[in-house]
Chains A and B, each alone.
Chain A
Amino acid sequence: QKEVEQDPGPLSVPEGAIVSLNCTYSNSAFQYFMWYRQYSRKGPELLMYTYSSGNKEDGRFTAQVDKSSKYISLFIRDSQPSDSATYLCAMSEVSGGSYIPTFGRGTSLIVHP
């Protein structure tokens, strides 16, 4: 079993839809959870960052972490064509040493007008 599972998609939705992107993981030691957005021919950029469980909201984006289920989600409200990109989840353990994140494969999202 891979440490982080993420459906690669593509996920195609109409403009204005609510999008739900998800990752599951197996390592219960993960404490930091991130979502990155990667446009074509660009490097990933951090969208949301959550420590431990709970929800975090930033504009149209909401990140949820359910540690009991080892499941994280990113919701996008009122999706726009400009949201079309690959979304990567990433997570890491609490550690005093070096930062070794584990990434999902990424989900390709297409928002059509």
Chain B
Amino acid sequence: ETGVTQTPRHLVMGMTNKKSLKCEQHLGHNAMYWYKQSAKKPLELMFVYSLEERVENNSVPSRFSPECPNSSHLFLHLHTLQPEDSALYLCASSQDGQGSDTQYFGPGTRLTVL
């Protein structure tokens, strides 16, 4: 399989549930990202990992917890979410996390919080 894959593609959860989103990149990249895409709003960068170390955390609520066990895999652990967290969560990767890099996106996980 090539590119950036994400599972699950759709997720419905209650506010008390705990779930995880998974991202895998098959491009040999060293940087991975989580974005949140809400209707009519710009893409919001949540987390950046470069060489498996988190280098950016854009003041994301602690109910979102990222994990990057290696340069090919990225997780987003979710717990006690709110309905306003319903959105499309996109994973991306790039070669080295530099300003000149091209980002490659996965298809996203459509999350609905009831």
Bound-complex Cα distance A92 to B61 (A): 24
Closest chain B residue, CB of each to CB of A93 = B99
Contact flag A4-B42 (CB < 8 Å), given A42-B107, A44-B90: yes
The answer, yes or no, to whether A60 is at the interface (CB within 8 Å) is no
Contacts between chains A and B (CB distance < 8 A), count? 66
Classify chain B's interface size: 20 to 34
Classify chain A's interface size: 20 to 34
- Are B90 and A8 neighbours in the complex by a CB distance under 8 Å? no
- Are A99 and B40 neighbours in the complex by a CB distance under 8 Å? no
The answer, yes or no, to whether B74 is at the interface (CB within 8 Å) is no
* Residue in A41, A43, A95, A97 whose beta carbon sits within 8 Å of that of B105 in the complex: A43
Stretch in A14-22, A64-72, A75-83, A100-108 touching the partner: A100-108
- Are B40 and A92 neighbours in the complex by a CB distance under 8 Å? no
With a 10 A CB-CB cut-off, give which of B50, B99, B101, B105 has the most chain A CB atoms.
B99
CB distance from B22 to the nearest CB of A (A): 15
Bound-complex Cα distance A99 to B31 (A): 9
The answer, yes or no, to whether A88 is at the interface (CB within 8 Å) is yes
Q: Which of B20-53 contact A (CB under 8 A)?
A: 31, 40-43, 45, 48, 50
5 A-B pairs (CB sep. < 8 Å): A93-B99, A95-B98, A96-B98, A99-B94, A99-B98
